[in-house]
Structure 1
Amino acid sequence: MFSGIKQQVVVGKDGKIEIQTSELVEGSIVEVIVLVEQDLAETNTSSSVQQDETEYLLSTKANRRYLMTAIQNIETKTHLVSFTPEQWNEEYNIRS
């Protein structure tokens, strides 16, 4: 089962990206997907060809299978997690 961590970070020197969170345990195997804001991508790249996010997410067999399973779960209303906005804020609201 996958869980997600969403952070907005600034790319450092030589394209280095750092994610810091107490949710990651040392030695854990993770899969990283980087989504670049479109206007920044166009400004900061010499290539005018941009890969659509959906195309990227469907570009591997494992991703396609995972996304299709997620869509099927939504359509059949199985394996869903429900919560109220208050529960979401208690669990995931990041306070400065």
Structure 2
Amino acid sequence: MNTLKYQTTIKNGQLNLPPLDLPEGTVVEVILLIKESAQTDETDYLLSTEANRQHLKEAVELLKNPDNYIYVDAAKL
């Protein structure tokens, strides 16, 4: 079985896909995977639990002290 994967957004109740290079009469099975929320951004996700919020707060505090920085010479990579 071959698989094609596309991500698109429903507009006006319609699903739009690019033209498929498949022979006429090809039998396909379509399964729609609906994402929980297209509006959830990374910040909301990262702040979604108390543990994550605390970890991020501690990381921000560490960034206030330049002694915690690790400098990398890109030329040596």
TM-score normalised to structure 2 length: 0.45
**Structure with greater helix share of residues:** 1
Q: Which of these two proteins has the greater Rg computed from alpha carbons?
A: 2
